[in-house]
């Protein structure tokens, strides 16, 4: 998730129970591109105790090979190639999900990178660009080039996040490819994770946006899958999570309005589990100052300490972009 899963957010998530491994934000790869210092910090300063895969996005094969080689000198779990980003400003450059339109280019790219990467080489993709005509052909390329892990989002690029997830296509991929498959798409709770695993027979799940809303989701999923009671989270604990986010991501050097907008990026997701009426989302979106924003958090999250945080997002409480923020969330 670009502009979200940086070192600071990873540290917050680790406090509540890390995933088995992390993927960095993507390193944008092009001619003469270097290693983005802030993204690199999520590798070099990782204290979560969990492995971190370095994610690349680009279309220049020589430059992808060059950057993969540079990253191999750092303590990474492997190199991950992004073939799934659905943001129009990304796929229009023929990178991310845009590459799913060109299996011949992918054949060359995967082959060259497989030769260049001595360790684990993984791929994250969707089931197609605007249809699934190339799906089986690309799955066969995953086999041909001995990819070590496939993370598969069960929608096409053009479907973004609006359609139902095609879990049947993820199940098809599980049967067709030789490597483990992680199922991705609408894994919103521990119960949802178990259902997706049962339906697809995938080796695991990849969780993105739901971890912004509920950082306890990894711990809860482990509990559910092992037959333990799933932890109930009360609203005051969510207020503590918001405060931890604020402290971890605060940048006093930037204007207050920008800080407020940055926090709203997180709160657009967190608010989906606070109340069924959407009152918290409405109040926080109207805030213009930090005092107004965190005052709204206190009113809605501390006034009813025995109120549980919703395990699944309340219907109709989808996150929407915040016009003020300069940050773009791309959950690929």
Q: How many CB atoms lie within 10 A of CB 316?
A: 9
Torsion of CA 262, 240, 195, 3, to 10 degrees: 20
4 pLDDT band, cuts 50/70/90, is confident
Those residues whose C-beta lies under 8 Å from the C-beta of residue 164, and which sit 6 or more positions away, are none
Inside any domain, residue 275: yes
320 pLDDT band, cuts 50/70/90, is low
Q: Look up the domain containing 267 and give its range.
A: 233-332
pLDDT given for residue 332 in this prediction: 39
Domain end position, chosen among 182, 204, 225 = 225
- Say whether 204 counts as a known binding-site residue: no
Evaluate whether 178 touches 143 at the Cβ level (below 8 Å): yes
Over range 259-280, report the average pLDDT.
95
Distance CA 24, CA 176 (A): 27
Tens of pLDDT, residue by residue over 48-66, are 999 999 999 999 999 999 9
Inside any domain, residue 186: yes
Pair 190, 51 in one domain: yes
Pair 79, 213 in one domain: yes
Structural domain count, the chain: 2
- Say whether 124 counts as a known binding-site residue: yes
Domain end position, chosen among 225, 249, 265 = 225
pLDDT given for residue 331 in this prediction: 38
Pair 127, 174 in one domain: yes
Pair 87, 155 in one domain: yes
Q: Phi and psi of 114, rounded to 5°?
A: -60, -40
pLDDT given for residue 69 in this prediction: 96
Inside any domain, residue 210: yes
pLDDT, mean over the chain: 93
Pair 196, 147 in one domain: yes
Pair 142, 176 in one domain: yes
- Say whether 37 counts as a known binding-site residue: no
Inside any domain, residue 88: yes
- Say whether 209 counts as a known binding-site residue: yes
Report the CATH number that the domain containing residue 148 is assigned in CATH.
3.20.20.70
Tens of pLDDT, residue by residue over 9-32, are 999 999 999 999 999 999 999 999
List active site positions. Answer: 85
Pair 272, 325 in one domain: yes
Chain CA centroid to CA 36, Å: 18
Domain end position, chosen among 179, 200, 225 = 225
Inside any domain, residue 1: no
Distance CA 280, CA 271 (A): 6
Pair 153, 22 in one domain: yes
Longest Cα–Cα distance of the chain, Å, equals 58
Inside any domain, residue 307: yes
- Sign of the dihedral defined by the CA atoms of residues 262, 273, 5, 199, in that order: negative
Over range 294-316, report the average pLDDT.
94
Give Cα separations from 96 to 43, 120, 325 (angstroms): 22, 19, 23
- The answer to whether residue 67 scores a pLDDT higher than 90 is yes
Inside any domain, residue 28: yes
Element (H, E) at 183: strand 181-184
- pTM of the predicted model as reported, rounded to 2 decimal places: 0.92
């Amino acid at each position: 998730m670009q502009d979200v899963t940086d070192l600071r957010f990873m540290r917050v998530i680790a406090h509540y129970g890390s995933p088995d491994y992390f993927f960095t934000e993507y390193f944008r790869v092009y001619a003469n591109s270097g290693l983005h210092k802030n993204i690199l910090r999520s590798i070099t300063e990782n204290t979560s105790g969990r492995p971190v895969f370095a994610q690349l996005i680009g279309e220049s094969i020589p430059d992808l090979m060059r950057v993969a080689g540079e990253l191999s000198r750092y303590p990474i779990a492997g190199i991950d190639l992004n073939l799934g980003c659905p943001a129009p400003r990304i796929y229009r450059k023929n990178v991310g999900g845009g590459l799913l339109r060109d299996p011949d280019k992918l054949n060359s790219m995967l082959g060259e990178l497989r030769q260049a990467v001595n360790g684990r080489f993984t791929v994250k993709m969707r089931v197609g660009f605007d249809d699934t005509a190339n799906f089986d052909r690309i799955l066969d390329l995953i086999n041909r080039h001995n990819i070590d892990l496939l993370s598969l989002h069960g929608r096409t690029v053009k479907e973004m996040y609006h359609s139902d997830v095609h879990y049947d296509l993820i199940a098809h991929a599980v049967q067709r490819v030789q490597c483990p498959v992680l199922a991705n798409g609408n894994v919103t709770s521990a119960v949802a994770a178990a259902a997706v695993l049962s339906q697809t027979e995938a080796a695991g799940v990849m969780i993105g946006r739901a971890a912004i809303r509920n950082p306890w989701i990894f711990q809860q999923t482990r509990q559910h899958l092992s037959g333990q009671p799933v932890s109930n989270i009360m609203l005051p604990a969510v207020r503590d999570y918001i405060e931890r986010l604020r402290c971890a991501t605060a940048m006093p050097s930037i204007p207050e309005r920008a800080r407020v907008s940055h926090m709203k990026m997180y709160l657009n997701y967190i608010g989906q589990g606070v109340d069924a009426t959407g009152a918290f989302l409405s109040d926080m979106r109207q805030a213009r100052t930090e005092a107004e924003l965190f005052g709204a958090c206190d009113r809605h999250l501390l006034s009813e300490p025995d109120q549980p945080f919703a395990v699944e997002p309340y219907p109709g409480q989808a996150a929407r972009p915040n016009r003020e923020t300069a940050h773009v969330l791309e959950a690929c």
